[in-house]
A and B are shown apart, each in its own frame.
Chain A
Amino acid sequence: MATRNLPNFNPGFESDRLRIAWYGLIAVALVVGAYATYQRIVQGMASTNMSSITPWGAWVAFYIYFVGLSAGAFLVSTLSNVFEMEGLHKVDRDALFAAIIAMVAAMLFVWIDLGRMERLFNPFLHRNLTSPLSWEVHAYVAYIGVLSSELYFSMRADLVRVSEAGTGYRSKLAGLLTLGRTDLSEAAIAADRKWLKRFGIVGIPLAIFFVHGGTGVLFAVAKARPYWNSGLFPIIFVISAVVSGTALVMAVYVLRRKFFDGGPVDLDLLNRLGQLLLAFILADAAFTAIDALIALTTLERLEVGTWLLLAFGKMAWSFWGIMVGLGWVLPAALTSRRKWRRRPWLMVLAGISVVVGIVGVRFNIVVPPLILPVMEQLPTGDYFPSLVEWATSFGIVAVGLLLYTIGAELLPLTHLEDGDHE
């Protein structure tokens, strides 16, 4: 079957100057983030701008943002690994690896958000069957297990090839990651495919109904907050996750090709990802509009008040500019024409626009219903993240970027035997 010599397995940055600049940028963000984390630990929750009226803020928004990115990216990977859509296998490892890193970031956000950070293992020691959050933490662990298994089975054969081809640290690491299964026979590779599909099949309901749908349920069960308390809410949650995941995979695919392994960008694949993104954006916008209409027709104080706050309040710029503008309008326009969908840099722009825009979606999920008080005569909240909240968030994002970059530099995220390298 395969040729055993690896033409040019060199997945790191193509340009050393770019590598230094990128790691430098990450290092700065990490230093700032570390200092802010120190402040957060020393000063406690008082270092945030949260209050008892607005008890969740930026950290929770980023937590659900990264869970969404992860679930979305994973679902894109299943298009190839389970549904065997042609051509999409080229992005399955990008998608899986990004999904794992996004979960790591999400868990770090959950952790820093805990009032008592030292008790992070309590949810595994003391459970509560009626609490969606209790279920969620277990689903996250199972999901990270599924993602890692998927990536392993997708990449194992290439890991064996890398470990056999060279002697450098990349080969040594690849050798370790094969977990000792070094068989490259057709039967062994077929077994990998079978397990890849099996884990994917388990992973789909896990990602849709537990990991991200469940995170939506976590909000939707709060009947005290009518803005979240709708059956449509978890569905919108999943759709917006798929929007952000598709956009992330599209951007990462092009960027990694351009800056890392230098392979050509598959324009047909790009076109297809662009089409998917457009379809998901339209679905997301439509369902959100339905949800808003249902909410407004209740004429109920909190429902209507929260939507009005969102659209016309002090933070309306984040709704119109970031959520609607960057999340929906700009990327929908960029992906609307076939010719544009075949231009890699335009698609990177569309992808990044969505990835930033969905941050606005997540903030606008978490914060607005925590501004108006649940009892009319209680004080109204006023929330904008504190410097410590912003800086710790950038630090955690930098941790994710660092882990992703190191992985992309060391691991065979591009299939070695697709003819991509020839």
Chain B
Amino acid sequence: MSESGPSPGVPDMGADQFDAMVEAERPDPVEELEKTEYDTDLGLAMAEDAQRVSKGDLSSETFWAKYDEAAAREFGDDYRETPNPAVDKVDSCQTIDDAAADQLSCAGGPMESVAESLQNPEIDPDKQWGMVIDLEKCVGCDSCTVACKAENRTPPGVTYNVVMEEEHGEFPDTTRTNVPRPCMQCDNPSCVQVCPVSATYKMENGIVDIDYDRCIGCRYCMIACPYGARYLDYGESYEDEVMGYGELTSPEYGVDRGSREDGKSPQYNARKCSFCYHRLHRDEEPACVETCIGDARNFGDLNDPESEVSQMAESTRAFQLKEHTGNDPNVYYLK
């Protein structure tokens, strides 16, 4: 293949030719709208402003304040039963049915309801949650890390789960071990031992909790953790890369904290993996377990001798990280 020639599979065309092709395919809005029984001008105006909303130049409140009346008049019942999913149910200027709104609402509502469901203490009184990660099955794809970030909406610099990758041997005889590292939810957690304000503690189900409203941000727990599983939230944000990043936070430990705001906890608090405590109560597995492409991660009750995880944790292949520390993690690995 010569330097100047086209790459295989890529047509040798300029940008203007692509634009012309797109233009040829694009339907004429006026023509399209005239096919319907509804007002063409209203349709065009709403479409143009909707584009401005999606670019962030116009708020959806303003949009609906401008069009709600006209749209209700034009579309009648159909309009009332088909809310725009981008509009918050609460405080919306759009006059829609409650039922329809509930169906599509994407406001703070769902987080609130998740948090509420966690107030019910009787769900896992005698469980001891544990995880077993099969290193033979882990391919090092990092999808657990990504799923964790998405689920827990962790800020830059805070990574509850990482995959530690190690190469052994010399080229070409090399092998690679990938060791995913969540919080170990130790039976004897060093972090709990040193916290000066008892802001971090072990729950009955074995998960190590952090009370973000009590934590003073002294970072002693991060010093003490032998697994480097704790992070300080330095108050950073993905806002520049992801629009609306801070609009909601994950209801970690069963507390809905609404939007992520400067100076509000969990900013400047210690943070770590919670085994997705908020998911467990909906009978869902932690996000990393659910997403694992190789089925390397297993999750369940270590107190139940019949459970898959307790049987795996008993196997001769099972080991814990840094067993000499006496921390006794509830995350096991299979060699």
Instruction: Please report A residues at the B interface, Cβ cutoff 8 Å.
Output: 43-46, 50-53, 55-56, 113-116, 119-120, 122-123, 125-128, 130-134, 136-137, 218, 221-225, 370, 373-378
Whether the Cβ atoms of B223 and A56 lie closer than 8 Å is yes
CA distance A123 to B164 in the complex (A): 35
Report chain B residues within 8 Å CB of A373.
228
Taking CB atoms, residues of chain B closer than 8 Å to A375 are: 164, 181, 227-228, 321
B227: chain A residues at CB < 8 Å are 374-375
- What chain A residues lie within 8 Å of B215 (beta carbons)? 115-116, 119
Q: Choose among B192, B228, B234, B321 the residue that contacts A53 (Cβ–Cβ < 8 A).
A: B228
A128 to B195, CA, bound (A): 7
Known: A44-B263, A131-B195, A225-B223. A115 touches B228 (CB 8 A): no
29 contacts between A and B (CB under 8 A): A44-B234, A52-B158, A52-B228, A114-B216, A114-B217, A115-B215, A115-B218, A115-B232, A116-B265, A116-B269, A119-B217, A122-B199, A127-B196, A127-B197, A130-B193, A131-B196, A132-B194, A221-B224, A222-B224, A223-B325, A224-B325, A370-B223, A374-B225, A374-B227, A375-B227, A375-B228, A376-B164, A377-B166, A378-B228
- Residues of chain A lying within 8 A (CB to CB) of residue B220: 131, 133, 218
B 39-83 to A, binary, CB cutoff 8 A, 1 in contact else 0:
000000000000000000000000000000000000000000000
- Residue pair B165, A377 in contact (C-beta under 8 Å): yes
- Quote the shortest CB–CB distance from B185 to chain A (angstroms): 16
**Cβ-closest chain A residue relative to B325:** A223
Q: Are B197 and A123 in contact (CB under 8 A)?
A: yes
Q: Which of B237-253 contact A (CB under 8 A)?
A: none
Fill in one digit per residue for B202-229: 1 if any A CB lies within 8 Å of its CB, else 0.
Answer: 0000000000001111111011111110
Partner of B217, one of A45, A53, A221, A222: A45
Asked if B190 is at the interface (CB within 8 A of a chain A CB), the reply is yes
B236 CB-CB contact with A under 8 Å: yes
Let me know if A374 and B232 touch, CB within 8 A: no
Chain B interfacial positions (CB closer than 8 Å to A) = 157-158, 162, 164-166, 179, 181, 190, 192-199, 214-220, 222-228, 230-232, 234-236, 262-263, 265, 267-270, 321, 325
Tally inter-chain residue pairs, CB-CB below 8 A: 134
B226 touches A122 (CB 8 A): no
Chain B residues near A45 (CB-CB < 8 A): 217, 232, 234-235, 268
Interface of A is mostly: loop
User: In the complex, which residues of chain B have a beta carbon less than 8 angstroms from the beta carbon of A55?
Assistant: 219, 222-223, 232
4 additional contacts (CB under 8 A) given A115-B232, A137-B196 = A43-B235, A114-B216, A122-B216, A223-B190
B273: min CB distance to chain A, Å: 13
Chain B residues whose C-beta falls within 8 Å of the C-beta of A116 in the assembled complex: 215-217, 265, 268-269
**B214 cross-chain contacts in A, Cβ below 8 A:** 119, 122, 126
A132 to B196, CA, bound (A): 7
Q: Cα distance A134–B198 when bound, in Å?
A: 9
Q: Are B193 and A224 neighbours in the complex by a CB distance under 8 Å? A: no
Closest B residue, CB atoms, query A129? B198
Q: Determine which of B226, B269, B270 lies in contact with A223 in the assembled complex, contact meaning CB atoms within 8 Å.
A: B226
